[in-house]
Structure 1
């Protein structure tokens, strides 16, 4: 009697497990069949829209994209038109008589001797943009790390002043900037064009916020190994801040390349003209009469290519988690 009861009690869990496994095996095919039936009936599954609705959405997105690309296409085509053709058909996408006269004038290859100092503008813009970008990335990173990690008197007040500078419109500082440059003898010089642009309040804010997101355990481990403050910043923290540095590089290059108001009050001679100030004089009619649409739009197109190429090369670094795997367990 005892042995039979023991066998009966031992068999009950086996039967229970078998029943549960049978339920799971029988319910899974039912769910699969339900999902397949939903797809076969043309119903939205997992948030997917019907094919006609998706085609309509893609068409609308493509139409909006083409609408935004239309001005760039007109700019590209107009550079190969003649002045009468551009004036008669400003929105035409096919030149009546294609010509490269506008680009020949820009690069000094015109036989008529009516060239434009575009290469000098390009050289000034490239030189200033490279120097300003390098200095701004270095100084903004150092200032951002100091505000994020170092403890010194007045740190909070200093950061508040930086935020206040970001709130002031740049146009309000033009006259004070001119007075300062003129007082220190920096007006109409490369130093006066570069020095005020080497530090940017927005760049300091970006780097400070990024450095605060880096775990302190990484710096503490380097400090235990005997590294100093600058060694920790240069060899440990700065390589981890690559996404923020690339973002700051793109923004700094774009800002210095497209800078206009500062160069307008910092220079006077034509030898210091950049692409922005030179194109402004060209558009205002300082280089001759007529509309000169092909020449102006060709110069504008060439001036946008470096910034566009830099952005498309490094756009994937805009959003990236640099802290993944930084802390060792």
Structure 2
């Protein structure tokens, strides 16, 4: 609300401005040009906060900005298009902000902040003003609608889901039209999918694929408080186990070292001792002492003694130092 002191201050500022206008020598050419441009729409505000700061106040302020007449719009557009007058471009943007709000409201069903939608639409409006040619004979609002919607569309697709749902032109068309074309909230029948595909000039497969994307949900990697109630399980739960990755690497290295040391120790044995150890410990179908005694024409006790001596040699070769320390360190 404007206080009496604010009114007095504003009046003094206006009086000073009018006095200075009477003496153009006080300003440089650029400042004087901006002042003359602003005189075309004297009630246009000079400052406006971003919609994210206070959306309600922003909307109220925007709706107080006057709508340009065709003559004013043409004059400002020519000043920017022909002379590069940035102040004229600013006034064109300011006067069309209410139109951006109107378009942004039609995208409120995607669960994105209204302020962000308006901000993206404002970017599209500024791009439209930059490319607007007043010599074409169309109003800026008719030209700008494409740019405003394009920026909002891109923002919605980029932020609606963690996983991007629309990657092609056909996907984008379906993304923004499928829900309005569905007659019920139930899953599409093949006949309904065919009808929608015909209306949008896409294939039935693309319609059914987009419906699947729209009805799916983003799964959080970590467990959420509502997961149990919804019957959903976070991907994190499928990966959990009691094995420490560091322990897995350590165990793998240990097994590899043991296998290498065992192979080196077996190479130190004579052929008969190595064969007895292999037949008694490493073969899938292990031989008995008597079976080996018959093979080598010795007693079973002698086979046991050879086995014991061979195992002692292997054990000595596979000490901790032999397994862990390289040859140049031992």
TM bucket (normalised to shorter chain) is: under 0.3
Which fold has the larger relative contact order, with Cα–Cα distance below 8 Å and residues 6 or more apart in sequence? 1
When Rg is computed on C-alpha atoms for both structures, the one with the higher figure is 2
Instruction: Give the TM-score normalised by the residue count of structure 1.
Output: 0.20
Instruction: Give the TM-score normalised by the residue count of structure 2.
Output: 0.20
